[in-house]
Structures are given as structure tokens and as C-alpha cells.
Chains A and B, each alone.
Chain A
């Protein structure tokens, strides 16, 4: 029971096509995050959500949009994929109860834009 799943695990797409990555949680956590991981940069925050229909930008949000219509699902969309968006994308969830809070990460999606 992973509690958080990402789909797809791998994807190859062409430049200019739209792409949607899905993050699904069964923990009923309030907070959800999308990060991208690139060599030499670590993980950088793209967007996050603090509730249904409540989202905000992270440090590398250009070219990405998100939606959260249900507590359990957080979608990341690349409107028109570019080669610079080739990366590994991680979703994370957290309960948001202050001092006891921790993050749980999905297993990542490797996206290649050709």
C-alpha cells in the first residue's frame, strides 16, 4: 500500500504536444506538491496545492499548469512540451499538521521530450 501513486512511470513525447502527469493519493492529505529533479539542481518545486481547487506556483512554474478537483488527485500539465522539460517528476503529499508533518513521495515519472 503505497499511499501515493504516480502515472505514468515513464513517458516519451514529442516537442509541442500536451502532456498530463497524474498523482493519486489514498491518505486524504491536504497538501500535494509537484517537483522536478534534474542533475545539478536537486528537486525544485513546480506547483503545489493546499486544498481542492487551491494551488500556487513554485520556483519553476513556467510552462506548467496544475489542477486539483478532488482531494486525492493532483494533475500536472505541460501545455506544449519542450526539450527543457525532460526530467524526472515527483509528486509528494503531506498532512500539514505542523511539527508532526512529514512528506511522502511518489516513485516518480521519467519524462523525455524529443
Chain B
């Protein structure tokens, strides 16, 4: 079974600084997706960024970028120019790619709570 590990239960960063959240995963599959979700106090799950395993180029979305190391099974999230609104729980998630043959479930890590210091 696939597992996702987030080893940092809590992180904090000064406003406007950069922070990196770590995620490692275990899989024997070669085709899969990786995700970072943000959960603010409102409880809503918000997709931050997605990475396809077949793509060597790291995904970026504005101030959010990932460092995807397939061989090391590592998928870290970098938040640049941290803002107060970035304060949230962040979840790393994995999903196997079944192509057009169905839909695989998301497996989540345990989350990292990010605090932004004004």
C-alpha cells in the first residue's frame, strides 16, 4: 500500500520569508500524481499544486512551487514571500494514475500546520 509521510507536524515562518514543507512517499508505481492541499481554519480543502510523476519539470503556481525528486520519492512544497493568508494546515497527497481505466483514491499525509509570524 502507498504511504505518505509528513515529518513536520508544525512549522512557522516570518511574513515575507520562504518556507519549505517536506513530504515523502512510498510506492512501487511509476505513474502517479502528487498534490499539496491547504486547509485554512474554515476547514475547506483547497488544492494548491499538482505534480504528474512523468513530468521532470517541477510544478509552480505563483508563490508556490515544488521540488519533486522521483528517485528519492520526495515532494516538498516551497512557499515564497509568505503571507498571513498562507497560515493553514497543509496536506501532501498521492494518487496512482490509472489513465482512462478508472479513478484511484487519494492517500494523505498527516499534515503540517503552518504559522505565519507577522
Contacts and interface: CB of A to CB of B under 8 A. Distances in A.
The DSSP consensus for interface residues of chain A is: strand
B43 A108 contact: yes
B44 A105 contact: yes
Contacts of A74: none
Contacts of A108: 43-44
A98 B47 contact: no
- Name the interface size band of chain A: 20 to 34
B50 A102 contact: yes
A96 B105 CA distance: 10
B55 to A, nearest CB: 11
Contacts of B98: 98
B28 interface: no
B50 A58 contact: no
Q: Count chain B CB atoms within 10 A of each CB in A45, A50, A101, A103 and give the residue with the most.
A: A103
Given A33-B105, A45-B105, A105-B44, A99 B110 contact: no
Interface in A65-100: 88, 90, 92, 94, 96-99
A96 B43 contact: no
A105 B45 contact: yes
B84 interface: no
Given A102-B47, A102-B50, A107-B43, A40 B110 contact: yes
A50 B106 CA distance: 14
B103 A96 contact: yes
11 contacts: A30-B103, A35-B108, A42-B109, A45-B106, A50-B102, A58-B105, A98-B101, A101-B103, A102-B47, A107-B44, A110-B43
Please name the 5 residue pairs, one residue from A and one from B, whose CB atoms are nearest each other, closest first. A96-B103, A105-B45, A42-B108, A43-B108, A42-B110
